[in-house]
């Protein structure tokens, strides 16, 4: 079969399953299989695929037709201009989380301290901790996650970017874990979806991404309450904490930290939504 033939077949399948932008998705998937860019495909419609290529393409089109995220199909997501391995044991890194990382890096780079101790809570794929280690060489990081499978992915990504020597991976439940020493920087993109809203999420999220990384309790604020109540013992007096928040949650989270005697700043995402809360003494 030719490029033109397999694309037509895939587009038909994706249309039937009501996948948005079926032509674009079919092209991106085929480009991945053939290791070409999309423009090459449309310039070579009569190129003949091998039987192995057709079989592999049919397989990933079938997965996408069932709403499996493209990132899990290709096991890759770019974040902070770095490539990260991902699979369904970890959340797919989002562009909004880059705001948290960039804000933390700005604070770290302005500090005169060396060997800055950083804690990444709920590390998942390691996108936050690996990016911090990659772009801020004076950091030493503890990366905490309740999922052992997620930590294996994070370790893989740390090795991919040659920063594994400065990250300690800790398999523990944050709600029960106690730190040994205070940290200068605490970072977290915690679960913040209210429990009753998870069933209403798009299929790509609710059916494939890990529930433990989504469920923030009855109102989505469970982890922020614990963070705020414990921050004084976890953070140095000169330190700071950055947390990502869901839509409409920033005001509540600011109040939680303010109640503990901390000052706060709020950072907006690309859509103008309050997305990251910073707290400091």
C-alpha 234, offset from chain centre: 23
For 166-222, what is each residue's pLDDT tens digit?
999 999 999 999 999 999 999 999 999 999 999 999 999 999 999 999 999 999 999
Q: What is the pTM of this model?
A: 0.94
**What letter would DSSP give residue 84?**
E
Residue with tokens 């369904």: 88
- CATH of the structural domain 3-66, one choice from 1.10.1740.10, 1.10.8.10, 3.40.50.620, 1.10.1200.10: 1.10.8.10
pLDDT for position 265: 98
Q: What angle do the packed helices 222-234 and 250-259 form, to 10 degrees?
A: 30
Can you list the alpha helix ranges (DSSP code H) found in 115-221? 127-135, 148-160, 203-206
Q: What angle do CA 230, 178, 279 make, to 5 degrees?
A: 30
Read off the tokens for 265: 């700043």
Calculate the average pLDDT of the chain. 96
For 84-129, what is each residue's pLDDT tens digit?
999 999 999 999 999 999 999 999 999 878 899 999 999 999 999 9
Which contacts (CB < 8 Å, 24+ apart) does range 16-22 have?
A: 16/65, 17/65, 17/66, 17/67, 19/64, 19/65, 19/67
For 209-267, what is each residue's pLDDT tens digit?
999 999 999 999 999 999 999 999 999 999 999 999 999 999 999 999 999 999 999 99
Residue 64 has pLDDT above 80, yes or no: yes
* Class in CATH terms, 77-280: alpha beta
Could you give the CA distance from residue 264 to residue 240 in angstroms, rounded to a whole number? Answer: 10
Percent of the chain with pLDDT over 70: 100
Residue with tokens 């433990």: 212
- The domain ranges of the chain are 3-66, 77-280
Q: Do the domains at 3-66 and 77-280 have one common CATH topology?
A: no
pLDDT for position 192: 97
């Amino acid at each position: 079969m030719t490029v033109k033939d397999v694309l037509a077949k895939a587009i038909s399948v994706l249309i039937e399953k009501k996948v948005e932008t079926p032509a674009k998705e079919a092209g991106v998937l085929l480009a991945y299989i053939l290791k070409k860019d999309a423009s090459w495909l449309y310039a070579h419609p009569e190129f003949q695929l091998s039987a192995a290529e057709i079989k592999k393409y049919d397989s990933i089109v079938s997965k996408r037709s069932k709403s499996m995220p493209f990132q899990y199909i290709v096991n890759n997501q770019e974040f902070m201009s770095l490539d990260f391995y991902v699979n369904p044991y970890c959340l797919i890194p989002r562009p909004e989380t880059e705001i948290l990382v960039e804000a933390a890096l700005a604070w770290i780079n302005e500090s005169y301290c060396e060997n800055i101790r950083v804690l990444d809570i709920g590390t998942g794929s390691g996108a936050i901790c690996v990016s911090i280690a990659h772009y801020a060489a004076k950091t030493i990081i503890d990366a905490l996650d309740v999922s052992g499978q997620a930590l294996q992915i994070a370790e893989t990504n740390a090795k991919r970017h040659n920063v594994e020597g400065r990250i300690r991976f800790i398999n523990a439940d944050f709600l029960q874990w106690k730190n040994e020493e205070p940290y200068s920087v605490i970072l977290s993109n915690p679960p913040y979806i209210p429990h009753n809203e998870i069933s209403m999420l798009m299929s790509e999220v609710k059916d494939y991404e890990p529930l433990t990384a989504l469920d923030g309790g009855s109102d989505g604020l469970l982890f922020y309450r614990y963070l705020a109540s414990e921050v004084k013992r976890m953070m140095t007096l000169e330190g700071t904490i950055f947390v990502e928040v869901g839509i409409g949650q920033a005001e509540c989270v600011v109040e939680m930290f303010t109640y503990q005697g901390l000052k706060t700043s709020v950072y907006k995402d690309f859509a103008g939504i309050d997305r990251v809360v910073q707290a400091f003494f």
